Structure 1
């Protein structure tokens, strides 16, 4: 799965850009001190936070690409988040979730 947002930050320190919720599994994409951050809830207490390798400038439209995988089914599986800005180097985190999680529909 993946999502892409093009945002133009203002002078605020933290600005929400995109949010998707799947129960206890969620994806939040936001700016923190000018750096795009993606937070992925993999179910239960498993949460991955990935910050892009570069900050973005105020008042400039910047593409942000987020790729993610969520574990589905009773066996668990891989939970992965990857974020990149403006064709920069992607920052990727992956964790195996072994406990049962609810299926996303």
Structure 2
């Protein structure tokens, strides 16, 4: 299954990295057009342990793949990467309603 992340929800408070502030991600299954929402940890687990494929489209329609990362303090999170560089495409998405 391949999904496209369409929005994010951020939690309040202090975070060591802005990607840690993402609490939920809204997404669309690209095969069925079904829309759902997952927590940051659910998305991390799905990509890492279930071979899930997630991506984000930028304003120009370019696709950036979403990968998993883990901070030195143990915080698990997801972040986009393109051309072998970690990017901030998730942070540019609108807030989920």
Counting helix residues as a fraction of each chain, which structure ranks higher? Answer: 2
* TM-score between both structures, scaled by the size of structure 2: 0.26
Bigger strand fraction: 1
**Structure 1 length normalisation: TM-score?**
0.24
Identify the structure with bigger relative contact order (alpha carbons < 8 Å, sequence gap 6+). Answer: 2
Q: Which of the pair has more CA radius of gyration? A: 1
